[in-house]
């Protein structure tokens, strides 16, 4: 099992550019989520999904878009990058949000100039 | 709403000393609580979790945590710190929102271990 994979590992964007962060899991988990990690702020939930075709907003959804067409993949789109989106992004998956362990990817470090 | 509060953004200990990382939660229903560890430049991984089976929970690498309902706490301890324990530690709880449970993380505590 590869677990949760994320690409790219590093990315530099200019303000206004768009891009997609990829996330895939091979554990057949229904639940997937995207977080951003900023110094002193912990992990903040951006968007989450409880199954293919079902997504919802988390704590900080503005400027991001998601879709879930398959169980395995959960891409995160930045529509028009802003410097405030400079952060480390983590994708995670689990069998259940309430009781189960979340399995995290290695992260994508994004810098917006 | 449920949330977690981690007291102290940084905790510094000497190698061999007791490690105590504090986590308090607010919950209107019996919670499921988690501690995760993040080593530098890596994703988070589970240390241990409380799912109501036992109040004292043992995790990996010699860590344990005790669920205390009366104090709404789930503090993480380790009797003797090792240099390899230096990392960021996160307490987490799942909070009800939008019809499903949503994971909520504390702001994290950075553990510094001095030789």
Given this model, what pLDDT does residue B32 score? 86
Q: Looking at the predicted structure, is the pLDDT value of residue A56 above 90?
A: yes
* Cα–Cα dist B62/A64, whole Å: 39
Residues of chain B contacting A105 with CB distance shorter than 8 Å: 43
What would the pLDDT profile of B73-88 be if each residue is shown by its tens digit?
A: 999 999 999 999 999 9
CA–CA distance, B34 with B99 (Å, rounded to integer):
21
Q: Calculate the average pLDDT of chain B.
A: 90
Give the residue-averaged pLDDT of B39-63. Answer: 91
Cβ A112 vs Cβ A83: under 8 Å: yes
Assigned token pair, B55: 């109040």
Contacts of B69 (CB under 8 A, 6+ apart): none
SS3 A85: helix
pLDDT at A82: 97
Predicted pLDDT at B103? 83
Considering only the beta carbons, identify the residue of A40, A99, A101 that sits closest to B9: A40
Phi, psi of B84 (to 5 degrees): -70, -10
B1 has a pLDDT exceeding 80: no
Q: Which residues of A lie closer than 8 Å to B, measured between beta carbons?
A: 4, 33, 35, 40-45, 48, 50, 56-58, 90, 92, 96-99, 101-102, 104-107
**pLDDT confidence band for A99 (50 / 70 / 90):** confident
Burial of B30 (0-12, 13-18, 19+ CB in 10 A): exposed
Q: How far is B20 from chain A (nearest CA, A)?
A: 19
Q: Which residues of B touch A50 (CB under 8 A)?
A: 100
**Looking at the partner chain, which of A40, A97, A106 has a beta carbon nearest the beta carbon of B94?**
A97
Q: How does residue B54 score in pLDDT terms, banded at 50, 70 and 90?
A: confident
Could you tell me the pLDDT band of residue B95, with boundaries at 50, 70 and 90? low
3-state secondary structure labels for all residues of chain B: CCEEEEECCEEEEECCCCEEEEEEEECCCCCCEEEEEECCCCCEEEEEEECCCCCEEECHHHCEEEEECCCCEEEEEECCCCHHHCEEEEEEEEEEECCEEEEEECCCEEEEEEC
Question: Taking CA atoms, what residue in A is nearest to B95?
Answer: A98
Per the prediction, chain A carries an average pLDDT of 95
pLDDT at position A26? 96
CA atoms within 13 A on the CB side of A82: 5
What DSSP designation does A102 have? P
Q: Are B94 and A58 an interchain contact pair (Cβ–Cβ within 8 Å)? A: no
pLDDT greater than 90 at residue A48: yes
Picking from A48, A50, A106, the nearest residue to B42 by CB comes out as: A106
pLDDT for B98 equals: 58
Q: What is the average pLDDT across A96-104? A: 89
């Amino acid at each position: 099992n590869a677990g949760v994979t994320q690409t790219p590992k590093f990315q530099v964007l200019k303000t206004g550019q768009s891009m997609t962060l990829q996330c895939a899991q091979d554990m057949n988990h229904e639940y997937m989520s995207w977080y951003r990690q900023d110094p002193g702020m912990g992990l903040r939930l951006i968007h989450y999904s409880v199954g293919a075709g079902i997504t919802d907003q988390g704590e900080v959804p503005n400027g991001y878009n998601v879709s879930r067409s398959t169980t395995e993949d959960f891409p995160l789109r930045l529509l028009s990058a802003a410097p405030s989106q400079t952060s480390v992004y983590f994708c995670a998956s689990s069998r259940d949000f309430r009781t189960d362990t979340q399995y995290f990817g290695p992260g994508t470090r994004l810098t917006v100039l | 709403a449920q949330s977690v509060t981690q007291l102290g953004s940084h905790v510094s200990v000497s190698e061999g000393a007791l490690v105590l990382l504090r986590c308090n939660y607010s919950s209107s229903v019996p919670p499921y609580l988690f501690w995760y560890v993040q080593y530098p430049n890596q994703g988070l991984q589970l240390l241990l979790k409380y799912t109501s089976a036992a109040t004292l929970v043992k995790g990996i690498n010699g860590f344990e945590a005790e669920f205390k309902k009366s104090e709404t706490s789930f503090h993480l301890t380790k009797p003797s710190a090792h240099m390899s324990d230096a990392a960021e530690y996160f307490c987490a709880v799942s909070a009800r929102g939008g019809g499903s449970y949503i994971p909520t993380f504390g702001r994290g505590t950075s553990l510094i271990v001095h030789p």
